[in-house]
């Protein structure tokens, strides 16, 4: 087990800054997930930790020791790839034994170590088979077993479940989490799948264009996003993000959403949270679809708007509510709301909506960071 520290890491490929001044401490025994869209620098960060890439700037420390100069083999870290990378001509037993033979572990010990890992991964009945006679899930377990058998200081996993079907991914997620918990091995896992990240991580490190946007527990990343990018990336459907402006009107402070006729009075607490710097300023208003209440009957303080589209996805309905149209881009300004499927409405029908005050987020429209 090991702690891993990245200090001000920058990595370029020609003109592309794949990783931009990234600093992060991964605790001993932690399950840390790098999450972000394609090309955001997740794999490069993982490869830097493994020693497969080298930073232009910055240091990588494993257990407090600077490892920049160490080869991948000398870092005592195991890498599990998206593609299983099993030897097709070797049996499962020999695939699992391979990393032990490579470091010259005594033959008498090898069988015991392989059996132990195979039992843990429930592949002990497959030890005589070749990879071509295994299912995708079984191959993935063997690949994991190969990483585990050496008892490395840490596991680095790059989308290891990307090739599995949806059901198997769900099963493997909980199994991997259980295994990691039992072994207590520091694990750094890369994915672009937010559900995978939310369900497995102790902490999620969200990346965007080479920059670490936020690192926090899944609960915090979802409920207290520190930037518009994180707010929009987490959640399905994602958070509603609407441009607006804070204005004083008589003794009241109002929030007006751009290109709509929607405005409402902010509470004293919200006004004080905004701080004087953001009053009378443009900002971005954020609210998740599950934090908007809608009703068919008028409610005191409710905002009247028309239903644009209703999407029924079984356990919930997603309703798009029309608020206006941006005259420059002709983009519709809609708000997505999540409701119980029993809430039946049709396109064109008027409804009344209210925002759950505890779950409103305000972002600076220039910096795109939370206010
Ligand atoms: P994905 O989820 O698609 O694998 P990622 O978040 O893992 O994406 P990286 O693979 O780390 O992203 O790539 C980050 C950026 O660096 C991308 O713009 C990519 O094109 C570029 N890049 C990565 N490796 C190389 C390379 N060997 N040569 C040139 N550019 C590279």
245 strand-pairing partners: 256, 282
Q: Is 36 in the pocket of ligand 1 (CB under 6 A)?
A: yes
**Strands lying side by side in the sheet with 203-208:** 77-80, 154-158, 186-191, 31-35, 203-208, 211-216
pTM of the model: 0.89
The residue whose CA has the least distance to atom 1 of ligand 1 is 38
Task: Choose which residue among 9, 20, 34, 42 to substitute to test ligand 1 binding: the one with the highest number of ligand atoms within 8 A of its C-beta.
Answer: 42
Task: Report the alpha-carbon distance of residue 149 to residue 115 in Å, rounded.
Answer: 10
Q: What's the CA-to-centroid distance between 342 and ligand 1, angstroms? A: 45
pLDDT at position 254 is 86
- From the CB of 41, is ligand 1 less than 6 Å away? yes
Q: What is the pLDDT of residue 82?
A: 66
Q: Which atom number of ligand 1 is nearest to the Cα of residue 190? A: 7
- Which pLDDT does position 279 carry in this prediction? 66
Q: Is 42 in the pocket of ligand 1 (CB under 6 A)?
A: yes
Report which of 350, 371, 360 is spatially closest to residue 242, judged by C-alpha positions.
Answer: 360
How many angstroms does the Cα of residue 12 sit away from the middle of ligand 1?
Answer: 10
Cis peptide bond prior to 152, omega within 30° of 0: no
pLDDT of residue 357: 86
CB environment 34-62: b (16+ within 10 A), e (fewer): bbbeeebbbbbbbbbbbbebebeebebbb
* Ligand 1: centre distance to CA 209 (Å): 10
Say if ligand 1 is within 6 A of residue 16 CB. Answer: yes
Task: Using the mean position of ligand 1's atoms as its centre, give its distance from the Cα of residue 54 in Å.
Answer: 14
Confidence (pLDDT) at 278: 67
Q: Is the dihedral of CA 79, 82, 86, 91 positive or negative?
A: positive
CA 39 to ligand 1 centroid distance, Å: 5
For residue 84, the model assigns a pLDDT of: 67
The kind and range of the H/E element at 240 are strand 240-249
Contact yes or no for 308/338 (Cβ under 8 A): no
Residue by residue, pLDDT tens for the chain (371 residues) are: 799 999 999 999 999 999 999 999 999 999 999 999 999 999 999 999 999 999 999 999 999 999 999 998 889 898 887 666 789 999 999 999 998 887 778 888 899 899 988 888 888 899 999 999 998 888 888 988 888 888 889 999 998 887 777 877 888 888 888 888 888 999 999 999 999 999 999 999 999 999 999 999 999 999 999 999 999 999 989 999 999 998 888 888 888 999 988 888 888 888 887 777 666 678 999 999 999 999 998 888 788 999 999 999 888 999 999 988 887 888 888 999 999 989 999 999 999 999 998 899 999 988 999 98
């Amino acid at each position: 087990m090991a702690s891993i520290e990245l200090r001000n890491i920058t990595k370029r490929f020609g003109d592309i800054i794949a990783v931009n001044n990234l600093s992060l401490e991964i605790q001993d025994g932690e399950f840390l997930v790098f999450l972000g869209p394609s090309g955001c620098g997740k794999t490069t960060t993982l490869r830097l930790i493994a020693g497969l890439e080298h930073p232009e700037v910055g240091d990588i420390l494993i257990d407090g020791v600077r490892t920049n100069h160490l080869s991948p083999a000398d870092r005592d870290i195991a890498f599990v790839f998206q593609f299983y990378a099993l030897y097709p001509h070797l049996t499962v037993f020999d695939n699992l034994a391979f990393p032990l033979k490579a470091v010259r572990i005594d033959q008498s010990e090898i069988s015991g170590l392989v059996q132990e890992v195979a039992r843990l991964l429930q592949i002990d009945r497959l030890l005589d088979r070749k990879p071509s006679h295994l299912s995708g899930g079984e191959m993935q377990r063997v690949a994991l077993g190969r990483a585990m058998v050496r008892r490395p200081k840490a596991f680095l996993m790059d989308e290891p479940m990307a090739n599995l079907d949806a059901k198997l991914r769900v099963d493997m997620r909980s199994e991997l989490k259980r295994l990691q918990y039992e072994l207590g091995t520091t694990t750094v896992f890369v994915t672009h799948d937010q559900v995978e990240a939310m369900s497995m991580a102790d902490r999620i490190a969200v990346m965007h264009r080479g920059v670490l946007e936020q690192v926090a527990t899944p609960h915090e990343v979802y409920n207290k996003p520190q930037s518009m990018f994180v707010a929009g990336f987490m959640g399905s459907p994602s958070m509603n993000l609407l441009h607006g402006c804070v204005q004083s009107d008589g003794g009241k402070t109002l929030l007006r959403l751009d290109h709509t006729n929607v405005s409402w009075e902010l509470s004293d607490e919200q006004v004080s949270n905004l701080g004087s710097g953001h009053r009378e300023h443009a900002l971005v208003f954020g609210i998740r679809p599950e934090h908007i209440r809608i009703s068919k009957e008028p409610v005191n303080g409710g905002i009247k708007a028309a239903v644009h589209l209703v999407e029924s996805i079984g356990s919930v309905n997603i309703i798009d509510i029309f608020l206006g149209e941006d005259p420059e881009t002709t983009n519709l300004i809609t708000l997505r709301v999540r409701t119980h499927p029993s809430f039946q409405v049709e396109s064109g029908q008027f409804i009344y909506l209210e925002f759950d005050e505890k779950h409103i987020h305000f972002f600076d429209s220039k910096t795109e960071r939370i206010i």
